[in-house]
């Protein structure tokens, strides 16, 4: 077998292992996904172009799978623009592997540190997305990652990369019959079992007895906006549902037609209904203003005497905003204005208050970002509500990744979550990431008790991301330390 073919096969194997690891049955494969790549690089003699082809195959396979939903937009012009995002993600994913082409001594350390840095970059650049974080995959086993409340999701990525490197070193020593194999195995076993033990210890902590009742409405893709509103009114007017402390509806179910929520007829009608029911109910839903070229999406919370709102601050690349818009205009893709009225983000930190409860309402895409939630949540926050609408119907990967990230956010911030979606995942989870109720693309109502926890995790309290700072320090040290 020629060298180039070996590299292609290694890239395909690593990409396949990473894709399979998103499944709960094969999540353990995440701890060995990079070994075929690293082993092939360090045991064969090839040109730099052949080695780069190895990385490229892996990166393209994974990013095509991970960002396949970019092909699901309905607008024709996005069918060829959005995949550019996949190419950019693939190119940046290659960067950590480039250290294997250098003569630097600490290549494995630099590879791992650079990977974490790139994951952080993906949260802040114009194509911002959290989906490239390896730590997401560990959401399949919430009891084993309770320590995310100290490190956030990137702690999981660091753990995965550490175990990958240690297992590679064990394999290398075994293949070359080196005497240090026992020590390498010991370090590997400790690195695997220690975080698991800490997590299991955290998971058996006594749960708070305080809770609120929550009702989550889920709607399928066959239900249009008018039918959706009619179903809601019908349920309440026929007294077919009992009072609940909180009822959560999906995103975008109300068009405000440039009117403030207080003047919207639908919201006023809902407010009158719960007033007439004489129950302490709070309704949470998503609406949009619909102003041409200045659209804004907002969350609205209402009870019988108050209406509160906050605006969406993180928008979906291509779906709600156009990344690199000015550059695309220069290339002649757009002339005077966008073919669709893209949204305008509105940064605002707003907690909702209902009598003794304090809660955060996240709007769909922004709920995936732990750096966003960190700015919104504090020790007074009791729980998190999410209103969402997913247009990527029947995309199994997007469905799975939504569940995984929602579990991880519950663990990281130790807050229970209720999520209502139109055409997507609706669920209720406790503050340890355990799923109490869940459904996907159905017309159904989920009901359960939502545990309340008035506290703040170490990750939430810490003003800076200590793991990221440590990664930067290690990265610099890895470049300059030669011995």
What residue ranges of the chain have pLDDT lower than 50?
292-293, 336-340
DSSP alpha helix (H) spans, 377-464: 396-413, 458-461
pLDDT for 471 equals 92
- CA 280 remoteness from chain centre: 33
Across the strands, what pairs with 450? 212
Count of CB atoms within 10 A of residue 226's CB?
8
Q: What is the pLDDT of residue 339?
A: 47
List domains and CATH numbers for the chain: 3-204+466-480 (no CATH), 211-461 (3.60.110.10)
CB half-sphere exposure, 139, CA atoms < 13 A: 27
Q: Cα dihedral sign for 135, 316, 286, 230?
A: negative
Whether the Cβ atoms of residue 315 and residue 266 lie closer than 8 Å to each other: no
Asked whether 138 and 144 are in contact (CB, 8 A), the reply is yes
Task: Please state whether beta strands 416-422 and 425-429 pair in parallel, antiparallel, or not at all (unpaired).
Answer: antiparallel
Tokens of 215: 């009702």
What 3-state DSSP class applies to 313? coil
Long-range contacts of 370-376 (CB under 8 A, 24+ apart): 370/130, 370/152, 370/153, 370/408, 370/409, 370/412, 370/413, 370/459, 371/123, 371/124, 372/313, 372/314, 373/409, 373/412, 373/413, 374/413, 374/459, 374/460, 375/349, 376/349, 376/350, 376/351
Determine the pLDDT at residue 336.
46
pTM of the model: 0.91
The pLDDT of residue 265: 87
Spatial CA neighbour of 331 closest among 79, 91, 83, 81: 81
């Amino acid at each position: 077998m020629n060298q180039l073919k070996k590299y292609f096969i290694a890239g395909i194997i690593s990409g396949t292992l990473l894709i399979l690891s998103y499944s709960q049955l094969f999540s353990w494969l995440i701890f060995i996904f990079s070994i075929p790549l690293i082993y092939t690089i360090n045991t064969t003699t090839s040109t730099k172009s052949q080695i780069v082809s190895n990385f490229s195959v892996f990166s393209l396979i994974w990013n095509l799978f991970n960002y396949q939903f970019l092909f699901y937009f309905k607008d024709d012009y996005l069918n060829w623009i959005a995949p550019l995002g996949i190419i950019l993600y693939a190119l940046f994913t290659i960067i950590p592997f480039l250290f294997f082409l250098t003569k630097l001594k600490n290549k494995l350390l630099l590879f791992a540190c650079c990977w974490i840095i790139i994951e952080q970059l993906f949260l802040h650049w114009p194509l911002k997305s959290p989906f490239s974080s390896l730590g997401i995959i560990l959401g399949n086993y919430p009891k084993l990652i309770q320590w995310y409340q100290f490190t956030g999701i990137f702690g999981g990525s660091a753990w995965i990369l550490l175990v990958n490197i240690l297992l590679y070193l064990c394999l290398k020593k075994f293949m070359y019959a080196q005497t240090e194999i026992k020590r390498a195995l010991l370090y590997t076993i400790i690195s695997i079992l220690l975080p698991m033990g800490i997590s299991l210890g955290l998971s058996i902590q006594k749960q708070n007895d305080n809770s609120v009742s929550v009702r989550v409405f889920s709607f399928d893709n066959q239900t249009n906006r008018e039918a959706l509103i009619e179903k809601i009114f019908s349920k309440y007017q026929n007294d077919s549902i009992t009072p609940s402390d909180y009822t959560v509806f999906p995103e975008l179910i109300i068009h405000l037609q440039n009117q403030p929520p207080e003047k919207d007829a639908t919201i006023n009608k809902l407010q009158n209904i719960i007033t007439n029911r004489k129950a302490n109910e709070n309704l949470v839903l998503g609406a949009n203003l619909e102003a041409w070229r200045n659209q804004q999406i907002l969350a609205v919370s209402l009870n019988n005497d108050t209406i509160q709102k906050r605006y969406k601050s993180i928008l979906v690349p291509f779906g709600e905003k156009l990344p690199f818009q000015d550059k695309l205009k220069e290339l002649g893709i757009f002339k005077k204005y966008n073919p669709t009225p893209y949204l305008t983000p509105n940064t605002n930190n707003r907690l909702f208050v209902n009598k003794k409860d304090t809660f955060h309402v996240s709007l769909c895409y922004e709920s995936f970002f732990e750096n966003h939630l960190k700015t919104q949540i504090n020790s007074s926050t009791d729980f998190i509500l999410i209103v969402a609408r997913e247009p990527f119907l029947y995309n199994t990967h997007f469905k799975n990744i939504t569940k995984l990230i929602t579990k991880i956010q519950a663990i990281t911030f130790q807050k229970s979550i209720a999520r209502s979606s139109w055409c997507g995942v609706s669920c209720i989870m406790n503050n340890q990431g355990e799923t109490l109720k869940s459904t996907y693309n159905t017309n159904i109502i989920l009901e359960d008790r939502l545990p309340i926890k008035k506290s703040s995790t170490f990750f939430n309290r810490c003003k800076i991301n200590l793991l990221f700072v440590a990664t930067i320090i290690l990265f610099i040290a890895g470049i300059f330390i030669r011995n």
